[in-house]
Amino acid sequence: MKKHRALIPLDGSSFSAQVLPAVCRLLDPSHYHLTLVRVAPPPADLSPQPTPPRPVSVDGWMSVAEEYDSSWARELAQHPVYASQIWESVRHELADELSDELKSLKDAGFDVSLAVHFGDPAEELIRAANSDAFDLVVMATHGRSGLQRALMGSVAEKLMRRASVPVMMLRPVDKAVAAT
């Protein structure tokens, strides 16, 4: 039988990690493949693609030179390899931070994989959830109400409104954990 795939977003906080005991309790390791996903803001000022140079015209002449938007863009165009390496190293760093969780879930008998995405957390998670690769998303929510909820506009809520797969919501059980 094909295993179900569950997406578990973790943002590195103990708040998000408190879903793990519940996952072990509620999901059957023999039927679930878990994907731990970390969404981080893209490394500052670095795009994975070098910016193309734009032609510059001087006083009616056709393009005589190519300029970059910044010295950094020129640097990047000349050394695209380094830029992608920085992305890779950040990716690996973030993945390493998930290694404790990875190990505890593997010990519980789950197949686990890791993924790191760069971008806005809600958007990236919705994209991942709607990619047809997952059957379930598991995440913690603060369970706020009213004005507080409107202000916080939590990732969990956006996901709940827009994900095309079922979303398992866990509320913090322990106030002390929720506060951290």
Partner 1 sequence: MNARVLSILIPMSRESVDREALVSARKLFTPSQTILTLLRVTPRNEPEAPSAEKLENWNELMRTLAKHPDPAHHPVYGHRLWSAFKRELTVKLEPDLQALRDSSFAVSLALRYGNPAEEIVRHAEAAGSDLIVMSTHARRGVGRVLEGSVAETVLRRAPVPVIMVRQIAKERRS
**Using CB under 8 A, which residues numbered 27 to 56 contact partner 1?**
27-29, 31
Among 99, 143, 150, 180, indicate the residue that binds partner 1 (CB under 8 A).
143
Kindly state the tokens that stand for 78: 């000349």
- Alpha-carbon 95 to chain mean position: 11
CA atoms within 13 A on the CB side of 5: 15
Ramachandran sector of residue 173 (left: φ over 0; alpha: ψ -120 to 50; beta: rest): alpha
Q: Return the residues of window 3-22 that contact partner 1 according to CB under 8 A.
A: 4, 22
Contact region for partner 1 (CB under 8 A) — 36-44, 60-68, 116-124, 137-145?
A: 137-145
Q: How far is the CB of 112 from partner 1 (least distance, A)?
A: 14
The radius of gyration computed from the CA coordinates of the chain, to the nearest angstrom, equals 21
128 part of the interface to partner 1, by CB under 8 A: no
Which one, 29 or 42, has the nearer CB to partner 1? 29
The per-residue b/e assignment along 61-70, b for 16 or more CB within 10 angstroms, e otherwise, is: eeeeeeebee
Tell me how many degrees the CA angle 70-71-72 measures, rounded to the nearest 5. 85
Site string for partner 1, 155-174 (x = CB under 8 A): -----xxxxxxxxxxxx---
Stretch that binds partner 1, among 56-64, 85-93, 114-122, 142-150 (CB under 8 A): 142-150
Applying CB under 8 A, the residues found at the interface with partner 1 are 4, 22, 24-29, 31, 108-109, 130, 135-136, 141, 143-145, 160-171
